[in-house]
Amino acid sequence: MTTAVFDGSFDGLLKLSAFLHTSGLYFDEVSDIEDNSSLFSENIYAQGDEPIDTKKLDLQKLKTVFLANDKATYKTIVRHYFEATEGRYTMETNAKLNELEHLVRREAHKYTGFTRFEMTDVGFFARIAPKHDILPLIAPHFHDRFKDERVIFDENRQVAALINKQGYKLVLATIESFEKCEEEKRFEGLWKKFFESVSIKERTNKQLQQSFVPLRYRKFMGEFSSSIYTPQAEALSHLPL
């Protein structure tokens, strides 16, 4: 099997697309990882400095598709580059592009509502584990919304979005855990009690609930946390009755 390999960046994939289109080399798959699984595996790389024709490309859409965690993502983008350059679009490629874009944007939209920030010893911190690489899409949203210092950590990719008043940046990071401040624990406990008290046991509908908030989003949502924080009486003594 022949694998066309690029450096893992969006620009690198476009460069590889231009090289493959110009050279006419045959390939089976496109990946950012070399395939050395067997003696018959062959890897090809972009060579030279081929001009990249982006006039007929919807770069914003392709950048969104590039974030999709799907084995067909890279090859679909390369196919689209071929078709756009030659002016012969196919329904199959366009349908796959639309599908991948929809999946990425849909998950990003959900995480704008399901991301939970906690006050820790390093400030406001949120941990997420999305299927797709959505940090570049949701970081601008939270910057525009809060305009303060926050950190969003993608557990699956070991990447953190560092947000401040000026903007945000994505950095590689390894984060084990941060200790929540006592006030955060107290309010999380109160929120969980409120969440449970407003629910009506006789009307519980797990299937409907999971359709609104699927299980994979709940790992870092305090209202679904299995741990219960019970403040001491003296910690609540200052609250109004």
Q: What confidence tens digit (pLDDT) does each residue in 180-235 have? A: 777 777 877 887 788 778 888 888 887 887 888 888 888 888 777 765 444 443 33
- For residue 9, which amino acid is it? S
Q: What confidence tens digit (pLDDT) does each residue in 59-83 have? A: 999 999 999 999 999 999 999 999 9
Q: Which residues pair with 4 in a beta bridge?
A: 30, 44
Question: Residues 96, 107, 228, CA angle at the centre, nearest 5°?
Answer: 150
Rounded Cα distance between 6 and 189, Å, is 48
Helix (H) or strand (E) holding 150: strand 150-154
Q: What confidence tens digit (pLDDT) does each residue in 85-123 have? A: 999 999 999 999 999 999 999 999 999 999 999 888 778
Task: State yes or no: pLDDT of 21 exceeds 50.
Answer: yes
For the chain, what percent of residues have pLDDT higher than 70?
A: 92
Q: Give the pLDDT score at 226.
A: 62
Write out the two tokens for 230: 């019970």
Q: Give the pLDDT score at 235.
A: 38
Q: What does the pLDDT average to over 19-44? A: 92
Q: Give the pLDDT score at 76.
A: 97
For 123, 150, 163, 166, the CA distances from 147, given in Å and listed in that order, are 14, 9, 8, 8
Task: State yes or no: pLDDT of 165 exceeds 90.
Answer: yes
The backbone torsions φ and ψ at residue 168, rounded to the nearest 5 degrees and listed phi first, read -155, 160
Indicate the range of 21-35, 121-135, 205-219 predicted with least confidence. Answer: 205-219
Rounded Cα distance between 139 and 170, Å, is 9
Q: Give the pLDDT score at 198.
A: 84
Q: Give the pLDDT score at 238.
A: 41
CB atoms within 10 A of CB 187: 17
